[in-house]
Structure 1
Amino acid sequence: MSAVRVLTGLDLPWGSPGGSVELLKDLYLDPSGPLTADTFMLTPDGPAPDAPAGRAPALPALLDVPGKQLDGDGFWDYVDRLTVAITTRFAGHEPDVVHLQHLAFGATPALLRGYLGRPAIGLVHGTDLLFAAEHPTQARVLRDAVAAATALVVPTAAMADRLRRLTPVDSGRIVHIPWGVPDTLLARPPARRPRDGGELRVLYAGRLTAEKGAAELAATLHGTPGLRLSMAAPVAEFRRLAAVQDLSGVHHLGWLAREELWAAFAAHDLLVVPSAKLEAFGLVAVEAQACGLPVVYQPVPGLRDALGDSALPLDLLADPRRALAELTRLRDDPAALDELRRSGLRNAARFPLSATARALAALSAQVR
């Protein structure tokens, strides 16, 4: 356990999908507690969530802050309200270190305003850099956050390179700490469900936003005999995609809880990660590898760092015909799948969550 008192949070509603939310749960909300932290998110729409039981992630403090937006004067009004909400909720709980989770969104300027002068560590996520490259407000927030942070944590070298392109930053403040797979998963992965027929059970797991490449993947695989695509994705996003694209052959699994997703990994033969842009790390892909699921991926920055030759790089977006031929080859070549499975297991073992937590705790103690 870390002796340093940390304050952190995301200005996303509790229950939101995404890798940064899962990382927040892993590092700060797991009952076994790799880090000691006061943590917040926003109150979700609908009924208040029940307090979790057993080993489920604890609830963060849920802040009711209306009017969230991304741009314009209204953004800064929202940041003011969020600052008041955070400092009121955690009054009397002065942190030793602030962990900034989304460097281009509202929680970061709110924390920097509310705890001016406190040491701050910025954890750089892929969404931060993608939005900062395209939106003036997010670019300003990122620049201010980078200037204020004592240290900046990146999970891959690609993230450090992209950060330097977007804003001036002293390389001495950049610290490389990979994201991590829960140690319990590495020690006890779910039992794999053997392939019971000729079909290759292909899985996509993630958001269905444009940069994730899921629409192109579904179009590439559509109607191909022997390839069955399942998608573990948010319901509303799947419905929106189905309204503009034929997904009749796709099995929608819904948005799965963490252990449900691990079970889905064990019930498929191949994970495909067709991201069109930078990924911070590709934690879903590494967790799939920990479950013995071979991975094919679009070789974008971040994924190349985390996966390398432990998975099969394949340009699904620029050359879908060749990609389809390779997927068909894997369907007919169990030995190739087995080799990818063994490589993936070795790769996942390099990234235990406990190592991520220890490194963050040590860095927090250093900047305290």
Structure 2
Amino acid sequence: MSPLVHPAPGPLAATCLDLPAGSPGGSVELFLDLYTGDKPLIPARAFMLAPAGTNPRPPAGLDLLPVAGKCLSGPGFGRYVTALRKALASAIDPTQIGVLHLQHLTFGATPALIRALPAHPRIALVHGTDLIFAEAHRDQLQVLRETVRAADAIVVPTDAMADHLLKLAPLTDRRKLTHIPWGIPDHLLTDPPTRAARTSTSHLRLLYAGRLTAEKGAEALIKSLAPVQGVELSVAAPRAQFHSLAPFLKRSGVRARYLGWLRRPQLWKAFTEHDVLVMPSTTLEAMGLVALEAQACGLPVLYQPVPGLSDALAASGVATDFTHSAALARDLDRLRTAPGLLPALRQAGYANAARYPLSATAQALTDLSRQLV
């Protein structure tokens, strides 16, 4: 794997993620990885929302919009989009922008950015939450279909995301679809953290890392883990979400060690201190970037074979059924006792993660932007 490669600068992109700065999630990390920093991989005017009641110091290259009223449906959604459009139009000189990178097919930033800069070519990026929220909210399904019509190109990270999108928007012009996998930081591939040698294999150290929203499957994981012996569970998640889960943990009798909501370097270190990453997602994942980062750090992945994860991991991880305790116990016991299995999975994980350098994602998006300008 070669060192981090910055693609030749493409047209300046305008892009907005209508989440407060500091929000958790793989989509946020990918956004910051691509568009922010002293030398962003993709030159951009990049925006997020200013968090309520705080005055954060955003990373270089990220501007914060003081727009309140975020919602998903009804008249309030229209007012929110209008307020975002006005804020973006005031902040951006359209003569400097070459292309729009629409983060998500749904939510408010995408229609706001299109209306603020109506004459620029548009690349829409599909994430798992787009499809989940479009299924659950009629107004968001309408936004998704309008974005699909308005976009000049639609980027999907996996074939599963394309298939799911076409079910929600069957009139999509398939010629617009472009497959560009998401990526993880190149330096994690070239210089991963060192794994400490284990002195005892009497139990399996499991790590759950990510948000604890319903589609992530944490409750199914805990319920199925309750009768399983020989494992210990650590959780790295947003504090408020972990506290909300605490009563369920107590009722189930599962003891979980809370690690906090870790910054990326801390999370990468935590990967080296565990034996298996568990990903019990119930619905779909765009790609499951946390799984690829874990593999890059030598941590095998045990996952529910939902769309997106199956594409990105396949046989480099171990698929299981987190909704059936007996199946989960069998697979965990195999991971704990089968000679050579964990080392073999570590090697398979390293090889799989190496397929997804962030620089390749940036280069492909830059090439696509050039084609449209």
TM-score range, shorter chain: over 0.9
Shift of residue 219 of structure 1?
2.2
CA distance in 1, matches of 2:45, 2:106: 21
> Which range moved further: 7-16 or 245-254?
245-254
How far did residue 311 of structure 1 move?
A: 0.6
Q: Secondary structure at the match of 2:212?
A: coil
Size of the aligned set, in residue pairs, is 362
**Secondary structure class of the residue paired with 1:245:** helix
Give CA-to-partner distance per residue, 1:231-273, whole Å, 9 cap, x none: 1111000111113432751011111111111111111110011
Q: Deviations over 1:24-67 (max 9, x none)?
A: 0111113332110010000012331135xxxxx42511011111
Q: What's the secondary structure of 1:215's corresponding residue? A: helix
Large movers: runs of 4+ above 3 Å: 91-94
Matches within 5 A, 1:55-204: 57-58=59-60, 60-91=62-93, 94-167=96-169, 168-197=171-200, 198-204=202-208
Alpha-carbon spacing, 1:102–1:174, altered in 2? closer, same or farther (3 Å): same
Q: Helix, strand or coil: the match of 2:221?
A: helix
Given candidates 11, 23, 35, the residue that maps to 1:4 is 11
The residue identity in structure 2 corresponding to 1:360 is: L
1:92 Cα offset (Å): 5.5
- Partners of 2:161 and 2:96 in 1: CA distance: 31
Question: Partner amino acid for 1:6?
Answer: A
Alignment partners' CA distance in 1, 2:166 and 2:33? 28
Q: How many angstroms apart in 1 are the aligned matches of 2:16 and 2:196?
A: 37
Aligned counterpart for 1:290 among listed residues 266, 272, 296: 296
Q: CA-atom RMSD, angstroms? A: 1.4
Q: Structure 1: which amino acid aligns with 2:44?
A: A
User: C-alpha distance in 2, partners of 1:218/1:332?
Assistant: 22
1:262-293 alpha-carbon deviations (Å, 9 max, x no partner): 11111111001110001111111011101010
Task: Give the distance between the partners of 2:147 and 2:219, measured in 1 at CA.
Answer: 34
Post-superposition CA distance 1:289-327 (Å, at most 9, x none): 01010011100111111001111111112x221111210
Paired residues of 2:225 and 2:325 also in contact (CA < 8 A): no
Q: Secondary structure at the match of 2:360?
A: helix
Structure 1 residue identity aligned to 2:30: L
Partner of 1:212: 216
Q: Residue in 2 aligned with 1:229?
A: 233
* Comparing 291-300 and 220-229, the one that deviates more: 220-229
Selected match of 2:270 from 264, 267, 287: 264
Whole-angstrom CA distance in 1 between matches of 2:53 and 2:265: 24
Gaps of 5+ in 1: 52-56
Percent identity reads 52
Q: 1:94 to 1:215 in 2, by over 3 A?
A: same
Deviation at 1:153, TM superposition (A): 0.2
Q: Deviations over 1:125-150 (max 9, x none)?
A: 00001110111010000001000000
Find the counterpart in structure 2 of residue 21 from structure 1: 28
User: Is residue 300–residue 349 contact of structure 2 (8 Å, CA) maintained in 1?
Assistant: yes
| The one of 344, 348, 352 aligned to 1:339 | 344
Instruction: Work out the CA distance in 1 between the residues paired with 2:38 and 2:346.
Output: 31
Deviation at 1:334, TM superposition (A): 4.7
Secondary structure class of the residue paired with 1:85: helix
Instruction: Give the TM-score normalised by structure 1.
Output: 0.95
Corresponding position of 2:5: none
Match for residue 328 of structure 2?
A: 323
TM-score (norm 2): 0.94
Look up the match of 1:54: none
Q: Deviations over 1:140-191 (max 9, x none)?
A: 0000100000000000000000111111211110000000011000000001
User: CA 1:144 to 1:92, structure 2 compared with 1: closer, same or farther past 3 Å?
Assistant: closer
Q: Secondary structure at the match of 1:133?
A: helix
Aligned amino acid, residue 220 of structure 1: S
> Tell me, which stretches of 5 or more residues in structure 2 are unaligned?
1-7
- The letter for the 2-side match of 1:245 is L
Distance 1:75 1:143, change over 3 A: same
User: Contact 1:206–1:233 at 8 Å: present in 2 too?
Assistant: yes
Asked if 1 retains the 8 angstrom alpha-carbon contact of 2:10 and 2:367, the reply is no
CA contact (8 A) 1:10 1:107 kept: yes
Question: Which region of structure 1 is more displaced relative to structure 2, 347-356 or 29-38?
Answer: 29-38
- Name the counterpart of 1:352: 357
8 Å Cα contact 1:194-1:267 kept in structure 2: no
SS across alignment from 1:307: helix
Q: 1:239 aligns with which of 243, 247, 265?
A: 243
d(CA) in 1 for partners of 2:249, 2:363: 45
Letter in 2 for 1:122: A
